[in-house]
């Protein structure tokens, strides 16, 4: 480990994460930077829906996050990096200024990155979708927008200008951790082994509690205590790209070789070629070693050159999901749920001309996740969950409507709970991808002062 | 032939890659990794998941951390934003994989009688 150590803290793994844990690590972690991952396919999908509904389309919990950590960050000299901008980075930037002023924090520099929304450029270039091989133009009116996955370059540029808070529309989650390493250690953007190592550390950190015992705990084989007060991870990074992953004393959770190895494999494909906008990580060279309680050294990760072209997420309106739910109890409950399912299926198919292939019937408690070999005669309660894909909201509503008729008109012994137990309707926004030249993305960095 | 349940010798993590799922199996005892690599094939994994996935599957090796990573296509009903299946994030697939029982002539080192005796003595 080199002499100089950079302390990076995870602030959130997703838009709705535990702000008590964010505040704790910001207050006591002696952090140089705190990084908020606020995005995911689902989050961006919601952002498009919020925009369609005329609502702000940046992370809708962004102000809450800042309220939780900003006083500690200004006290400790910790800079904030977040991909909270979504479809409205300017809105997120203005919100940051507003919160800083409310908290009496004057003179902070807020940077936000614009230009990731390349909808017009993609419309003009009309590239083919990687998933289908068909041109974007064939999506017609269902093409909602195009958002580029950002790299680390713009974050590094904003840090060089002294920004205290850096907001991107959708920088890669690992790139958000890489950027402060590049800035502080003056790593060159084509020092691929260091870039790979930095992205690898980012990958371990970006899901916050998932490296400190969350999603790991198994009450039999891998017990973890204190999940109710789980500590978010801290990376102590050296100039060579080695790091210690750790957490604050007194917080719940666990950081061990096993938790780090699990998170290393999370959502990866080929471990020798884990592709990011800023570079490619090779995890087959990584070494993981416990060096103390809740302290794990990660070293040896290497890297390869970044992809030639930039990946862009194409948002597509893809209809609606309708859902209805009902619970049957007692002897024969599974058979009753099957009969109920047949009633709903027959009505949707015969009365409403729904294709059977667009419907799904799950029996929760028996085989909704997998066919575990449950003895269906032995179960005494089962939940029937009916879902379907529909072209319109009105058509999708019929699922819940028909399921809600079952307590009166179907088999005996139905329980159907509160309205929110019963299902509902969701609009679907899905994603496909295209490649465009990086130089075609008109990134601009804007600066505000609180 | 003895049967080995993966739950007894490894832990696992899974997640979504679009409509594909990735499932990593990680040996608790690094000494068991060669056994895992020899016995847990893509064919075994696809047969275990049966009609719940479309396939195909690819297996990657991470000998450095004693792990195998499986990427199975067509496992998440179109992916998290579109899926009707409950677990569109694929986070539960790790638990499904650990239910797999492998029939093999040899036991992994950590389950061999000698290893057990040593553990018992040291305990």
Domain residue limits, chain B: 3-122
Instruction: Provide the pLDDT for residue A168.
Output: 97
Taking CA atoms, A51 is separated from A59, A82, A101, in Å, by: 12, 20, 26
Measured CA to CA, the distance from residue A267 to residue A276 in angstroms comes to 13
Q: Do A282 and A351 fall within a single domain? A: no
pLDDT of B116 over the 60 cut: no
B65 → closest Cβ in A42, A264, A318: A264
Q: Do A322 and A307 fall within a single domain? A: no
Question: Considering only residues 15 to 34 of chain B, which have any Cβ-Cβ distance to chain A shorter than 8 Å?
Answer: 15-18, 20, 22, 24, 26, 28
Q: Do A288 and A348 fall within a single domain? A: no
Three-state secondary structure of A262-294? HHHCCCCCCCCCEECCCCEEEHHHCEEEEEECC
Report helix, strand or coil for A36. Answer: strand
B62 → closest Cβ in A41, A267, A284: A284
Instruction: Provide the pLDDT for residue A351.
Output: 96
Q: What is the pLDDT of residues A333-367, one digit of tens each?
A: 999 999 999 999 999 999 999 999 999 999 999 99
Distance from CA of A444 to the nearest CA of B (A): 30
Average predicted confidence (pLDDT) for chain B: 93
When pLDDT is averaged across residues A179-199 and rounded to a whole number, the result is: 97
Contact A221/B86, CB-based, under 8 Å? no
Q: What is the pLDDT of residues A139-172, one digit of tens each?
A: 999 999 999 998 899 999 999 999 999 999 999 9
Q: Do A168 and A191 fall within a single domain? A: yes
Residue matched to tokens 């019963």: A422
Q: Do A334 and A262 fall within a single domain? A: no
Contact A222/B11, CB-based, under 8 Å? yes
Measured CA to CA, the distance from residue A183 to residue B21 in angstroms comes to 35
Closest-CA residue of chain A to B92:
A369
State the CB neighbour count (10 A cutoff) for residue A435: 14
Q: What is the pLDDT of residues A256-288, one digit of tens each?
A: 999 999 999 999 999 999 999 999 999 999 999
Instruction: Provide the pLDDT for residue A47.
Output: 93
Q: Do A326 and A298 fall within a single domain? A: no
* DSSP category for residue A356: G
Q: Do A266 and A394 fall within a single domain? A: no
Contact B52/A370, CB-based, under 8 Å? yes
Measured CA to CA, the distance from residue A232 to residue A251 in angstroms comes to 8
Closest-CA residue of chain A to B21:
A267
Is residue A10 a contact partner of residue A206, using CB atoms and an 8 Å limit?
yes
Q: Do A184 and A294 fall within a single domain? A: yes
Question: pLDDT-derived band of residue A376, with 50, 70 and 90 as boundaries?
Answer: very high
Q: How many residues does chain B have?
A: 123
pLDDT of A368 over the 80 cut: yes
Using alpha carbons, select from B41, B58, B45, B54 the residue that is nearest to residue B85.
B54
As for how many domains chain A has, the answer is 2
pLDDT of A2 over the 70 cut: no
Which CATH number fits the domain that encloses residue A336? Answer: 3.30.70
Q: What is the pLDDT of residues A283-322, one digit of tens each?
A: 999 999 999 999 999 999 999 999 999 999 999 999 999 9
Which residues in chain A are contacts of B37 at CB distance < 8 A? Answer: none
When pLDDT is averaged across residues B32-57 and rounded to a whole number, the result is: 98
Q: Do A273 and A327 fall within a single domain? A: no
Instruction: Provide the pLDDT for residue A1.
Output: 46
A271 → closest Cβ in B7, B69, B80: B69
Is residue B26 a contact partner of residue B10, using CB atoms and an 8 Å limit?
yes
Q: What number of CA atoms fall less than 13 Å from residue A409's CA on the CB side?
A: 11
pLDDT of A389 over the 80 cut: yes
pLDDT of B117 over the 60 cut: no
Contact B79/A41, CB-based, under 8 Å? yes
Instruction: Provide the pLDDT for residue A41.
Output: 84
Instruction: Provide the pLDDT for residue A42.
Output: 84
pLDDT of B115 over the 80 cut: no
H or E segment to which residue A339 belongs: helix A333-352
When pLDDT is averaged across residues B90-117 and rounded to a whole number, the result is: 91
State the CB neighbour count (10 A cutoff) for residue A40: 18
Q: Do A36 and A113 fall within a single domain? A: yes
Instruction: Provide the pLDDT for residue B123.
Output: 41
Q: Do A124 and A202 fall within a single domain? A: yes
Question: pLDDT-derived band of residue B114, with 50, 70 and 90 as boundaries?
Answer: confident
Owning domain of residue A96: 5-313+441-449
Tell me how many residue pairs between chain A and chain B have CB atoms under 8 A apart.
109
Mutate to test the interface with B, among A262, A265, A289, A317 (most CBs of B within 10 A): A265
Among the ranges given (A376-380, A419-423, B115-119), the one the predictor scored with the smallest mean pLDDT:
B115-119
Which residues in chain A are contacts of B87 at CB distance < 8 A? Answer: 369
Distance from CA of A151 to the nearest CA of B (A): 19
A369 → closest Cβ in B50, B61, B87: B87
Distance from CA of A434 to the nearest CA of B (A): 14
* Better pLDDT: B113 or B88: B88
Average predicted confidence (pLDDT) for chain A: 96
Q: Do A158 and A293 fall within a single domain? A: yes
When pLDDT is averaged across residues A397-416 and rounded to a whole number, the result is: 96
Q: What is the pLDDT of residues A35-59, one digit of tens each?
A: 999 988 888 989 998 998 999 999 9
Contact B60/A371, CB-based, under 8 Å? no
When pLDDT is averaged across residues A373-402 and rounded to a whole number, the result is: 97
B47 touches chain A (CB under 8 A): no
Which residues in chain B are contacts of A427 at CB distance < 8 A? Answer: none
């Amino acid at each position: 480990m080199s002499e100089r150590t950079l302390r990076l803290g995870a602030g959130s793994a997703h838009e709705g994460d535990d702000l008590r844990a964010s505040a704790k690590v910001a207050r006591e972690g002696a952090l140089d930077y705190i990084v908020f991952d606020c995005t995911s396919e689902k989050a961006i999908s919601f952002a498009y829906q919020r925009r369609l509904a005329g609502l702000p389309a940046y992370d809708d919990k962004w102000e809450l996050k800042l309220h939780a950590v900003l006083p500690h960050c200004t006290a400790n000299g910790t800079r904030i990096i977040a991909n909270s901008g979504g479809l409205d980075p300017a809105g997120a930037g203005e919100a940051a200024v507003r919160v800083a002023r409310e908290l009496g924090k004057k003179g902070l520099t807020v940077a936000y990155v614009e230009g990731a929304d390349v909808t017009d450029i993609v419309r003009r270039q009309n590239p083919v979708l990687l998933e289908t091989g068909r041109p974007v133009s064939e999506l017609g009116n269902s093409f909602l927008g195009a958002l580029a996955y950002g790299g680390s370059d713009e974050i590094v540029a904003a840090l060089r200008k002294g920004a205290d808070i850096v907001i991107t529309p959708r920088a890669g989650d690992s790139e958000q951790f890489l950027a402060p390493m590049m800035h502080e250690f003056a790593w060159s953007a084509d020092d691929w082994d260091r870039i790979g190592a930095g992205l690898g550390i980012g990958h371990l950190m970006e899901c916050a509690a998932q490296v400190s015992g969350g999603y790991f705990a198994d009450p039999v084989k891998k017990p973890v205590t204190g999940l109710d007060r789980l500590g978010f991870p801290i990376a102590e990074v050296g100039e060579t790209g080695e790091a210690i992953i750790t957490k604050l004393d007194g917080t719940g959770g666990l950081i061990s070789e096993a938790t780090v190895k699990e998170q290393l494999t999370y959502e990866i494909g080929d471990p020798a070629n884990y592709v990011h906008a800023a570079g490619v990580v090779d995890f087959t060279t990584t070494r993981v070693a416990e060096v103390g309680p809740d302290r794990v050294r990660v070293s040896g990760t290497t890297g390869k050159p970044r992809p030639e072209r930039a990946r862009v997420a194409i948002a597509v309106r893809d209809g609606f999901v309708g859902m209805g739910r009902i619970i049957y109890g007692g002897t024969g409950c599974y058979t009753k749920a099957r009969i109920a399912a047949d009633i709903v299926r027959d009505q949707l198919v015969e009365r409403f001309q729904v294709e059977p292939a667009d419907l799904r019937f799950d029996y929760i408690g028996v085989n909704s996740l997998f066919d575990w070999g449950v003895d269906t005669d032995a179960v005494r309660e089962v939940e029937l969950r009916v879902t379907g894909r529909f072209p319109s909201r009105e058509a999708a509503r019929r699922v819940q409507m028909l399921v809600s008729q079952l307590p009166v008109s179907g088999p005996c012994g139905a329980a159907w709970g509160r309205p929110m137990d019963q299902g509902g309707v969701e609009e679907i926004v899905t994603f496909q991808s295209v490649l465009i030249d990086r130089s075609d993305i008109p990134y601009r960095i804007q600066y505000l002062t609180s | 032939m003895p049967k080995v349940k993966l739950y007894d010798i490894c832990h696992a993590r899974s997640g979504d890659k679009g409509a594909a799922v990735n499932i990593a199996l990680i040996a608790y005892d690094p000494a068991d990794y060669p056994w895992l690599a020899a016995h847990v094939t893509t064919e075994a994994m696809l047969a275990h998941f049966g009609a719940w996935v479309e396939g195909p599957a690819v297996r990657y090796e991470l000998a450095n951390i004693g792990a195998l990573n499986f990427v199975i296509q067509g496992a998440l009903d179109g992916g998290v934003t579109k899926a009707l299946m409950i677990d569109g994030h694929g986070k539960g697939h790790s638990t499904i994989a650990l239910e797999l029982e492998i029939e093999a002539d040899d036991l992994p080192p950590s389950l061999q009688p000698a290893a057990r005796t040593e553990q018992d003595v040291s305990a």
